[in-house]
Amino acid sequence: MNVVWHGSYMLYFEDAREIFGEKYDLTYMGYFDHGYYAPLVEMNFQWKKPIKYGMHPRIDIIYQPTEAAKVVFDYEIRDTADESLIATGHSVQVFMDKDYKLVLYSPKFYEEWQKRWNVFEK
């Protein structure tokens, strides 16, 4: 069909999360090193138009600050040729300890990360 398979969009969002994590020091191994996992509990996307082979899309990831013990991102995939919107997405990760128990309060390292990056500043 000359278009990217729909399941690839979630992989693109994963790539964006990993790059964000490397840039802002919020990586999966960092969660683990602090004694936590951060599994996805919600992920969706809304498709606007296809990514055709040969296109060069850009994926923008937007961190959404929350005081809850969650890591929330929104995503936009745009066609770099004309900046048109290809797809949007949203993901939510929660914290689990190494015994796989849900953590209801933000871990100290995550609160410190939010302070370091001034995520609640307007």
* pLDDT level of residue 1 (50, 70, 90 thresholds): confident
What would the mean pLDDT of 57-65 be, rounded to a whole number? 97
What would the mean pLDDT of 57-70 be, rounded to a whole number? 97
Q: How many CA atoms lie within 13 A of 11 on its CB side?
A: 5
CA–CA dist 63, 71 (Å, integer): 8
47 strand-pairing partners: 87
3 state SS of 99: coil
Compute φ and ψ for 59, nearest 5 degrees: -110, 120
In a domain, 44, yes or no: yes
| pLDDT at 45 exceeding the cut of 90 | yes
CATH for 30: 3.10.129.10
In a domain, 2, yes or no: no
In a domain, 78, yes or no: yes
Question: For the whole model, what pTM was predicted?
Answer: 0.94
In a domain, 1, yes or no: no
What would the mean pLDDT of 41-45 be, rounded to a whole number? 96
In a domain, 3, yes or no: no
Counted domains in the chain: 1
pLDDT per residue as tens digits for the range 96-110:
999 999 999 999 999
The residue assigned the tokens 């599994």 is: 39
